[in-house]
Amino acid sequence: MVCTVVAGAFWGDEGKGKIVSYLALKDKVNVCVRTGSVNAAHTVYFDGTYYALHMVPATFIYDRCRLFIGSGANIDVSQFLKEVERTRVKGRIWVDKQASIIEQHHSAKDRKDSHLISLGTTGRGVGPAIQERASRSAKLARDIPELQGFLTDVAEEVNRAIDENLYVILEGTQGLMLSLYHGSYPYVTSRDTSAAAICSEAGVGPSRVDKVLVVYKCFITRVGSGNLPGELSKEEAIRRGWFETAAGTGRERRSAPFDFNLAKRVAKIHGATEAAVTKLDILYPECKNTSSFDQLTQNAKNFVVKIEETVGIPVTIIGTGPGALDVIDRRV
Ligand code: IMP
Ligand code: MG
């Protein structure tokens, strides 16, 4: 059994939700800790239903997985309660008592502060809530009556699960290029998004992690401000089938071709041991719903091999369609 960190490569929206939901079903993941906050949406598509999850871990579709939100996370209480209801996970989801709380005034500030507006924030209040946390005056989950039935010590729970040799996923949000420390500052989010930071938010030390799975998408997308090397015009993005709108905010995503050198750099900082590549069917439509690597076209195979050769790690999971089970799984 393993403790795996799942981390995004670029500016988020690589398809971490899909990869995590696949692992949940396929590997019967016992425990998942989600980090980050409501600015990120993880999309899960299963049994004909789409979920855009801002709080609940994407492993929820495996109904025996225990779900946690780590102490480093920021909780939007009404969004959390709404998602718990929709996903019917009450009784198997817990929140760390020291996770901090996003309040109305945080999102109001996110939407009217001219500096934050210039960064193109999601407006969900995460940056202002983290500012308050850093100034040691934030409300924590333990202070909120509606959360009393969900509280636990997540670090204790997840470390016990690792001691018991259970299968644990630490679910990162966003991507390394949005990291406060390693990304395209100032056009970044308000926290570090590296694999090490994902561990820190969950309360898991680096020696306890077995695998770091970096998730790449076959092309790069970005919402908000900041430079995007190789950016295409909207017309060209539409022509290539790369044009997307954000699951969380509905905003249009900018897009650019895959950047192999950037892929190498982010894998290094994450300490990635393997990679997932999503949306291969968008780049190579003949690959749609393929579940065997051998059946890919030569161009598609070459693309995957070039990632492995440039980055120096194996591409173990490849997305070939939107559903949680639409993958090529090359592990063993
Ligand atoms: P904030 O995290 O809402 O403060 O936004 C800061 C920057 O990060 C903006 O460019 C956002 O568009 C971007 N961002 C934050 N979360 C996500 C995400 O989950 N996916 C993609 N971009 C994000
Ligand atoms: Mg997203």
Q: According to the model, what pLDDT value does residue 134 have?
A: 98
Q: According to the model, what pLDDT value does residue 11 have?
A: 97
3-class state of residue 228 by DSSP:
coil
Residue tagged active-site, from 27, 42, 47, 96: 42
Q: According to the model, what pLDDT value does residue 17 have?
A: 97
The candidate with the shortest Cα–Cα distance to 10, out of 200, 259, 205, 280, is: 259
Specify whether the CB–CB gap between 74 and 101 falls below 8 A.
yes
Q: According to the model, what pLDDT value does residue 77 have?
A: 98
Q: According to the model, what pLDDT value does residue 249 have?
A: 78
Pocket, ligand 1, Cβ cutoff 6 A: 11-13, 39-40, 119-122, 124, 126-127, 173-174, 178, 187, 189-190, 223-224
Specify whether the CB–CB gap between 256 and 229 falls below 8 A.
yes
Q: According to the model, what pLDDT value does residue 265 have?
A: 98
**What domains lie within the chain, and their CATH numbers?**
3-99+151-329 (3.40.440.10)
Q: According to the model, what pLDDT value does residue 89 have?
A: 98
Residue 13 is among the residues annotated as catalytic for this protein: yes
Put residue 112 in one of left, alpha, beta given phi > 0 → left and psi -120 to 50 → alpha: alpha
- Residue 32's Cβ-count burial label (10 Å; 0-12, 13-18, 19+) is buried
Residues with CB under 5 Å of ion ligand 2 are: 13, 41
Residues 284 and 40: their CA atoms lie apart, in Å, by 27
Q: According to the model, what pLDDT value does residue 332 have?
A: 77
Q: According to the model, what pLDDT value does residue 250 have?
A: 84
Give the H or E element holding residue 107.
helix 104-112
Please list, residue by residue across 162-192, b when 16 or more beta carbons sit within 10 angstroms of its beta carbon and e when fewer do.
Answer: beeebbbbbbbbbbbbbbbebbbeebbbbbb
Give the H or E element holding residue 79.
helix 77-87
Residue 153 is among the residues annotated as catalytic for this protein: no
Closest Cα to atom 8, ligand 1: which residue? 189
Q: According to the model, what pLDDT value does residue 204 have?
A: 98
| DSSP letter (8 states) at residue 54 | S
Q: How many CA atoms lie within 13 A of 5 on its CB side?
A: 32
- Measured in Å, residue 41 CA sits from the centre of ligand 1 at 10
Question: In order along the chain (332 residues), what is the average pLDDT of each group of 10 residues?
Answer: 94 97 98 97 95 97 98 98 98 98 97 95 97 98 98 98 98 98 98 98 97 98 94 97 86 96 98 98 96 97 98 98 96 86
> Which mutation among 11, 16, 37, 39 tests ligand 1's pocket best, with the greatest number of atoms within 8 A of CB?
39
pTM for the model = 0.97
Q: According to the model, what pLDDT value does residue 247 have?
A: 72
Q: According to the model, what pLDDT value does residue 246 have?
A: 85
Q: According to the model, what pLDDT value does residue 99 have?
A: 98
